[in-house]
Structure 1
Amino acid sequence: MPRAITAPFDSDVDLDLGSFLLRRRGAVCVAPRDLLPEPDPWTTRGLVALDADLARRGFLLTSQLRSALARLSPTRLAEVGDGLLVRIDHLLGADREHVPLFRRFPDAVPDHAQLFWTRQIRAFLLNQPRQPCSHCGRRGAEAGIGALAPCAHLLCAGCFDGLTADGRAEWCPTCGTPLSAGTYLPEDNRIGQRAALEFGGEQALRPLRLITADQVTAAMGEFDRLLARRTPLSPQDRDDLAALLAHAPADLPQRLPVRIPLREVKATVLAALLRRGGADALPVLAERIDTATDVLRLLWAWSGAEPDLLPGTARRLRLRGLSRPVRRGLLEIMEGLHPTALVEDLRRHRSAWLRAGELLHPYEHRRRVPNVTAAFVVLRGTDLRTHEVGREFAEPHAGPLRVVSAGERTRLGFTGFPGRVEALLAAGDTEGALRVLAHRPGELVRRLHHVLRVHATAAPGTPLAPGALDTVTAALARVAPGPLLGAYGALRGTRTAGERRLYFPRGTVSLAHAREDHGAVVPAALARPVVLAIETELLRRSGADGERYEVALLDEGLAELVAPFAERAAARTLVCVPRGSRQPLPAGERLRLFLHWMQPEGLRVDLDLSVALYDECWQFTGLCDYTNLVHGDRAAVHSGDYVSAPPPNGATEFVDLDLARLVAGGSRYAVVIVFSYNDVAFEQLTDAFTGFMDLGVTPSGSPHFHPRSVRQRLDLVGDAKVCVPMIVDMAARRYTWTDLNTGADGGFHSVYRHQAEVGALSRDVLAHFAPENRATLWDVALARAAACTDDVLVRGLDGRVRRWRRGAEESVGRFAARLRALRDEEPEPAPALSELLSGRRAFISLVDGDVPAPEQVSGTLYRLYPGPVDAAPEDLERLTAGDLVAGLAPGPPHVPVMRAGAD
């Protein structure tokens, strides 16, 4: 079903709050009303089977969660356990081919369940000892992680010594099983050694946390954060919002904030209120609708479409009918708007409003809503001298909407804003252009690079005048985070004449286009004051809420995570890696790419998984696809070509890459491509996703698709037929997550025929997303840390932790400049993280959540990959990358008192 006509509340959207909590917070909700006074023996036996099933998927129950599950009835545990495994399989993409090992737990659990679980844990510890303690979350060789006998639950030496000192070392703190002889050392166990040889690879178990509340209460904690976002929501966030609205309590109107910044979100919420209350919701709608476009977005959301009003959706959308009171109420809301703004809004989305007019019937209420009627007359180009409605309306209503000529209709409602800006820029008057653009700060910041280009051409070697720089600074204070970060990346990078530039047109999918740019290069001396002004604004916004932290922990690897942009076109993924980010490959030598799809009844769909190989100069070196199943000395092997994927099982294709062999054979880059051979768009498929697995953690003899091995998956959606999910740099052992679609006019049936275009686009993508050319999460997190705390820890790429403290007389700008350059840190080594974070209010921003969970810590946490830090208490608020960027929302206008790096 096309995305434009997918209803936010239909069966295609996951409305399961359990999946929502698992995906966003790594937590499982157990309602207090379900808990028994004491653990049930049968439930305890069933938990062993659940432990084993979760370990096979790479997950671990924390001691708090396991203790809560033990107090469920056997039947309730079966429901919770089955549901949890199904959700995990769905997130990993394993629900099509893999089923839980023990489907009927706790009933009829095989006697070897305990042995199976024990062997799994022994294998983990032998092959990778850096597992998290299930009690405190610590990990690593220094923690002394071992497994208790006979239950095999993980415990660190510190926790075991503490239990011994308290006289509680006779029972497992996780499950309460009597212990036989303390911990066993895995290296002394031959059975475990054999299991480790079969297991292979390196992977840390991901802890699952406990939330002791009902799912609605726990999930609604995310509701306010989504409503407060000032950056476009990704498809996954939109699904989460739909799930929350579908399960929201009856007092939803009272829960809404005073202002919802993002208009698409506001339309979605208002459409939900309209579904619930019908005409009774009109007073709430009247309070929150302030433009005619808000009404149009509402109609789109009401009809089951995304309210982003992208071009082309009007032709595909079937508008849903409204009751007569609701139609009349919406027209009256529009009547209360300024007439000129009303006409301008209608003209901005002409084709969509022509469709909406057929639903609203404004001419039926022309005496009640004369301005709205006149606006539609102008929109449709009706001649008021001859049209009956026009004559009836025009006589008694004089003013700006009484028009009788086509020329006047064309000019009606327009101030000539774009024309004045272009005329001033053509004349080289950048100061005048900035004064005009100041009325629309977003437009000014988006065109800032263009304005500076014109200035560099018209007045070479001359800096911006102080007045012009003040105009720019005032606009920076009012613009949304997206344009602000976009201008920051565009101006601080090094540009060259004739360079290739990448463009992402607004749409439902992330189409990329590249071309040579022969415009003037903005000199660094001209851009530097604007870059400093942006850095100052980032610091001001980061500290505008007044929130303070005692300490901050940052990861230097954040510099390789691009700040999210164009999120409305991002695909749903297992790990929310922002488009353009570079990440290390798994430690093993072999990767397995996978593609799965299922076609609807009556439609044959042939998708193909291909890998194009290039050397370091981007010369084509080979191909692995349906035309060439084996590349080189089996360095790349394709599993075979399926030409259809009928339900219920669909079809799956694999490509195995031996990285060392490919590099030895002269290949450096591997471009992963998925395309529709018979030109069927992805949005018409019942299900389709792609991704990659780490074969190093796949047990021998396991199925071709093993859920524990999955490192990333991406859903194939939208009106696209070609997808490039990632580009692998095999020499550097890193991959760039691209999540791009390319045009397929005329068909894209052979990667070999398009090898030159694929190589050129891939080269342009890597250059475009170089860290110096884009704003990164390091920039966002650094500004937050420098503005909100005086004690900052930075974990370097080598794992070493260094410390920076702000001096008593040091400005925030200078402190941020030291952090940005990673210089002048504290001379003494930083204490252990557990000592610095425990019991304090902290801002933590990491790539890998592999630090131990601090005790009694509060504050905020962002991490890309899950890890032991997820076991931290609920006082540590979890953020996404979009939340970090949304925290840079503009505040009230201000007069800057300093620039970054100045006293």
Structure 2
Amino acid sequence: MSGTKAAIRTATTPRSLAAVLLARRGVVYLPGGGDVLEPAGDVGAALLEADLVERGYLVAAPLRAAFAALDARALGAMGRALLQDIDRETGADRPHEPLLRGFPDSTPHDTYAHYVDRVLTVLFQRSEQPCVLCGAVDAVVPVAPCAHLVCGTCFDGADFSACPVCERRIDPADPFLRPKRPRRLFARRPAPPQRLRLIAYGGDLSDRQHDAAQELDTLLARTGALSPQDTDDLDALLAVRTRDGLDRLPTAVPGRETKARLVAWLLADPATLPTTLPFATALVDTATDVLRVLAVRSGGDAGLVEIPRFARVSRPLRRALLSALDALDPARAAQDMRRYRRAWIHAAELLHPFEHTDRYPGAALAFAALRGTALGDDALSLALRKAADGVDGIDVTGPVVTVRTWAGQVETALAGRDLRRALALLQQRPGELVRRLDHLLRLAGDGGGDGDEERAVVAALERAVGRVAPAVVLSALGAIRTRTRERTVRVFFPKGAAARAHVTDDGRPALPAALVRSVAGVLTAEMLRRAGEAAPVEVAVVDAALDGVVAPFTERTASRALVTLPRGSELAVPDGRTLRLFLHWMESPASGRTDLDLSAAMFDADWRHMGECDYTRLRYEGTAAVHSGDLQDAPPPLGASEFVDLDLERLAEAGVRYVVAVVYSYNNVPFGDLADAFAGLMVRDAPGNEGPVFDARAVEQRFDLTGSSRACVPLLVDVQARTMRWLDVVKGVTGTQHAVWRHAHALATLAHRLTELFASGARVGLGELAVWQAAARAATVVLRHTDGSRSVYARRDGEDVAGFAARIGSPETDVPGPSARPRLAFLMRGDVELPDGSEVFALYPYAQDATRVRLLAAPDVVTAFAPR
């Protein structure tokens, strides 16, 4: 197999079950039984443990003992597989050799002079002539395969890893590439990363099926769309599960896209259709569910952002899907179909609904309303008129079948300022009422009067909010509570295949403060009520640092990342340490030659562009920011890597306030066409070129570059506040030759407005959700502050949940009572010892053992507020 094909296969192969459980639970399973001919012993276990520690993982005592008891050969095979999975997560499974192997020390101080030397070499250098730059004789040689004439005196072959002139990879055996100089060892051992995590012993391989089933249940219970990584994990967990024992699967799946993937999996095996068909069709409760299933089984997106050409549908499956559609209200089904009219017309070609009007009259009527089928005296028309008898919303009295859409009625009512009619319609679909809450409040305020219309909206909200998904409620709460002040711009995240942020003018007037307090109170009270339905605990612990972590939203477009950090979250950067951005990519036949560029844009406190560190400027203010050089292609198997070092102290001295990291595709090749593409962030202690250029132990974040985008803005650093904000958005660009200076204004606008959005409170934070859960479920709440101090809050006699929640974080603390171990914890770092069976969210799990406690992810914290 060629190197290119091997690279593509590696980049697109989903995680194994072992890798999924390791990433999600931090658990390792070992082969059990059999004769142990040569136990690995403490020495073998220690060797593997040392390799794991160097990658940022600790080994629990039971796992270390299990390593030692394992046969030496079995431990070697298992250890190699374990390390390979870990290296793939951090990016250490790829070679990382920048253009300048002595980076950052060997990076040229004058980028322009370096560029001029390269141009002069191309224009005037001739073979068998002295070097045009230094005059050296017999020092100029051609390099293969580009054949550029390079002077070994001017360009150090021990430092360059590619052609110094065109900056493309050359034959590794070319004499110009001399052995690189060894990098200096660390003067001291690097500090452990924030993501340092304990790996626990899960038992033998048979035990992992039980844990896999638990993880599957967790994903199926999520109320919102899964992230791409969670979607991949869902597919991996389903792939190892048999289709018997369906009673162990939930009979209702709240997430529409998750449900579609489950139903498509149930229907994938023709041999089990007699068993799986009834179960699968019972899960379907909207027409769009059927369309999602058709899309997923055709290799498409369950979110219907991009709808593929549907795959062939077998006769039994056709009947099952028509049966599911027939069980729905025809008018409601027809209205849903109109949202994706073209896709449904294609689906009708596969389902043949008019061939089965006698068996599935409701489905046939819905398709007829979608297509506007002409009515006459034929058999089909008679069957459609009969099916429409008693159906409200579908009209068969005219020349064609028509449907009165619910959305059209709502829009008509809103356009006509008929608030009473709009509220009556929207209460039929509570989620839509909450989504349109701002519009309704503005409409009520424009009506004048004594506030009756505002009270009507609040009353309608009170009746509807109990049936609304938590993500919708939280989104509305964040948006409404910031509406007491007028803003000049709004930021949208439109549904799509990539996380695009759209900035537009905001002409909405501010809402009255009293009205905002009333509406926010209704939404908050509903969240507190739902939190109180969970099992009570005596003590809960909450980290105040979680206030900077945003509750996840638009997860559908989140990047596959080492640390699942919700978009918009802000984390502290340790003082006195260097940030190293990294980028790696590898070309594929689909991409051809591809040049990605890692860049950092510098802005002052007013978001004025101060400069950049990229291929046009390899150094910014000396050593404040240093680039590793511009590799302009990435052939397999080596690929290409670029790095940017950021010294926050020197950047602050230079007057820089914000640093925005960005990755551009210089020649406009989509990231998704590449065999491999990822970027990330390391936090380093060592200055200069001490230590390896890529250190897996120092990696704090690694994320994939995928999709059709050509520019990615992953994060920004607030140099003064010493914080990093995770943005994870793509930026629309056109043409080629992308560079920071061409997009500086657009970058400033995007980063500035996103920072304003996330800092304004318009997105509910995980810290708030944690306080609500703790106040509703615990008698005592311990709040851990970022300086290490603690405050204790005990629920007082007669104090309701809302009052208790409002007091947590205030100076009104209580005297600590008898110490009880917490059984509910929301932590930035999992360094609290909890009893078995506890629930814990920890952004960095650290010492939390998934075999003893229930580890929650950020989406699970949101799902805990789902209506029951």
Question: Normalising TM by the smaller chain, what interval?
Answer: 0.7 to 0.9
**Equivalent-residue separation in structure 1 for 2:425 and 2:565 (angstroms):** 38
The correspondence for 2:830, drawn from 842, 849, 852, is: 849
Q: How far, CA to CA, are the matches of 1:747 and 1:458 in structure 2? A: 52
Alpha-carbon contact 1:582-1:735 (below 8 Å) kept:
yes
Does the CA contact (< 8 Å) of 2:491 and 2:501 recur in 1? yes
Distance 1:299 1:635 in 2: 53
Shift, 1:13, TM fit:
4.9
Bigger drift between 666-675 and 680-689 goes to 680-689
Question: Hey, what does 1:14 align to over in structure 2?
Answer: 14
Matched with 2:299 is 304
CA distance in 1, matches of 2:446, 2:395: 45
Distance 1:83 1:95 in 2: 12
Shift of 1:304: 2.0
Pairwise CA distance, 1:867: 1.6
Residue 608 of structure 2 is matched in structure 1 by: 619
Q: Within the alignment, does 1:890 sit opposite 2:867 as a pair?
A: yes
Aligned equivalent of 1:505: 494
Post-superposition offset of 1:728: 0.7
CA-atom RMSD in angstroms: 2.8
SS in structure 1 opposite 2:229? helix
Aligned residue for 2:12, secondary structure, equals coil
Equivalent residue in structure 2 for 1:575, among 559, 563, 576: 563
| Partner Cα distance (1:813, 1:395) in 2 | 55
* Residue in structure 1 matched with residue 711 of structure 2 by the alignment: 722
Unpaired runs of 5+ residues, structure 1, are: 1-8, 100-193, 892-903
Question: Residue 404 of structure 2: which of 414, 418, 421 is its match?
Answer: 414
- Alpha-carbon offset, residue 367 of structure 1: 4.7
* 1:356-377 per-position Cα deviation (integer Å, ceiling 9, x unaligned): 2232233444554444344434
Matched, 1:554 2:552: no
Return the TM-score normalized by structure 1: 0.80
Counterparts of residues 731-770 of structure 1 (less than 5 Å): 731-746=720-735, 749-770=738-759
Tell me how far apart the structure 2 counterparts of residues 325 and 83 of structure 1 sit (CA, whole Å).
42
Find out whether 1:353 has 2:344 as its counterpart.
yes
In structure 2, relative to structure 1, the CA distance for the partners of 1:239 and 1:462 (3 Å cut) is: same
2:526 matches 1:537? yes
- The 2-side partners of 1:592 and 1:550 are apart by 43
Alignment-mate amino acid for residue 586 of structure 2: M
Inter-partner Cα distance in structure 1 for 2:470 and 2:63: 38
Mean Cα deviation higher: 204-213 or 875-884 = 204-213
> Aligned with 1:70: secondary structure?
helix
- Contact 2:96 2:584 survives alignment (8 Å): no
Q: CA deviation at 1:673?
A: 0.8
Q: Does 1:25 align with 2:25?
A: yes
C-alpha separation in 1, matches of 2:572 and 2:467:
37
Pair 1:232 & 2:220 matched: no
**Quick check: 2:282–2:324 contact (8 Å CA) kept in 1?**
no
Determine if the alignment matches structure 1 residue 814 to structure 2 residue 814.
no
Equivalent position SS for 2:761: helix
Task: Please state how far the C-alpha of 1:464 moved relative to its aligned partner.
Answer: 5.7
Report the CA distance between 1:524 and its aligned residue.
1.3
The structure-2 alpha-carbon separation of the partners of 1:640 and 1:389, relative to structure 1 and needing over 3 Å to count, comes to: farther
Query: Cα 1:699–1:788, aligned 2, differ >3 Å: closer, same or farther?
Result: farther
Within the alignment, does 1:256 sit opposite 2:261 as a pair? no
2-side partners of 1:858 and 1:446: how far apart?
A: 37
Residue in 2 aligned with 1:199? Answer: 189
Match of 2:323 in 1: 332
Match of 2:589 among 601, 623, 628: 601
Aligned pairs for 1:418-817 within 5 A? 418-426=407-415, 428-459=417-448, 462=451, 466-493=455-482, 495-545=484-534, 547-601=535-589, 603-696=592-685, 701-746=690-735, 749-770=738-759, 772-817=761-806
Pairing partner for 2:858 from 881, 887, 900: 881
Distance in 1, matches of 2:423 and 2:388, equals 35
**1:86 counterpart = 2:76:** no
Q: 2:56 aligns with which of 46, 55, 58?
A: 58
Correspondence for 1:823: 811
Equivalent pair of 2:546/2:828 in contact (CA under 8 Å): yes
Deviation digits for residues 54-97 of structure 1 (CA, Å, limit 9, x no counterpart): 12112221111101111111121112211111111011111112
Distance across 1 between alignment mates of 2:453 and 2:791: 39
The CA deviation string for residues 272-317 of structure 1, in whole angstroms up to 9 with x for no partner, is 111134532222223222222221111112112221112xx22xx2
Aligned pair 1:859/2:834, yes or no? no
Q: For the residues of structure 2 that align with 1:574 and 1:11, how far apart are their CA atoms?
A: 15
For the residues of structure 2 that align with 1:642 and 1:323, how far apart are their CA atoms?
A: 50
Helix, strand or coil at the partner of 1:320: coil
Looking at structure 1, the residues matched to 806 and 35 of structure 2 have their Cα atoms a distance apart, in angstroms, of 53
**Deviation by residue 1:687-718 (Cα, 9 ceiling, x = unmatched):** 11111111216997533111111111111112
CA distance in 2, matches of 1:461, 1:591: 57
Greater RCO structure (CA 8 Å; 6+ sep): 2
Residues 629 and 298 of structure 1: is their aligned pair in 2 closer, same or farther, counting only changes over 3 Å?
Answer: same
Q: Which residue of 2 aligns with 1:67?
A: 65
Q: CA deviation at 1:452?
A: 1.6
> How far 1:617 sits from its partner (Å)?
0.7
- 1:783 and 1:344 map into 2 onto residues whose CA distance is 38
Query: What residue identity is the alignment partner of 2:200?
Result: R
Whether the 8 Å contact between 2:484 and 2:516 is mirrored in structure 1 is no
1:221 aligns with 2:214: yes
Match of 2:261 among 249, 258, 268: 268
1:243 and 2:236 matched: yes
Q: State the percentage of identical aligned residues.
A: 40
Q: How far apart are 1:528 and its partner, in Å?
A: 0.4
Is the alpha carbon distance of 1:812 and 1:378 closer, same or farther for their aligned partners in structure 2, counting shifts above 3 Å?
Answer: closer
Compared with structure 1, are the counterparts of its residues 371 and 745 closer, same or farther at alpha carbon in structure 2 (3 Å cutoff)? farther
Q: Counterpart of 1:67 in 2: which secondary structure? A: helix
Partner Cα separation in structure 2 for residue 218 and residue 707 of structure 1: 28
Shift of 1:874: 2.8
- Inter-partner Cα distance in structure 1 for 2:661 and 2:790: 36
Go from structure 1 to structure 2 and tell me whether the alpha carbon gap of 1:715 and 1:346 turns closer, same or farther (over 3 Å shift).
same
CA contact (8 A) 1:795 1:801 kept: yes
Contiguous gaps of at least 5 residues in structure 2: 1-8, 98-183
Partner Cα distance (2:555, 2:755) in 1: 19
Give the corresponding residue for 1:96: 94
- Is 2:27–2:200's contact at 8 Å kept on the other side of the alignment? yes
CA separation of 1:748 and 1:792: change in aligned 2, threshold 3 A: farther
Question: 1 CA distance for matches of 2:761 and 2:384?
Answer: 59
Over residues 485-539 of structure 1, what are the superposed CA-to-partner deviations in whole Å (9 max), with x where a residue is unaligned?
0111112226533422100001121110111211110121111011111111111
Residue 463 of structure 1 and its aligned partner are, at CA, apart by: 7.2
Alignment CA distance shift 1:858-1:398 (3 Å)? closer
C-alpha distance in 2, partners of 1:216/1:298? Answer: 26
Give the drift of 1:477: 0.9
Change over 3 Å in CA distance of 1:370–1:65 after alignment to 2? same
What SS does the aligned partner of 1:646 have?
Answer: coil
Q: Which residue identity lines up with residue 849 of structure 1 in the other structure?
A: G
Equivalent residue for 1:190? none
Q: Deviations over 1:415-435 (max 9, x none)?
A: 4x3344344444555454333
- Counterpart CA distance in 1 for 2:342 and 2:435 is 26
Map Cα deviations across residues 116-144 of structure 1 (whole Å, 9 max, x no partner). xxxxxxxxxxxxxxxxxxxxxxxxxxxxx
Instruction: Report the CA distance between 1:202 and its aligned residue.
Output: 5.1
Cα deviation, residue 391, structure 1:
6.0
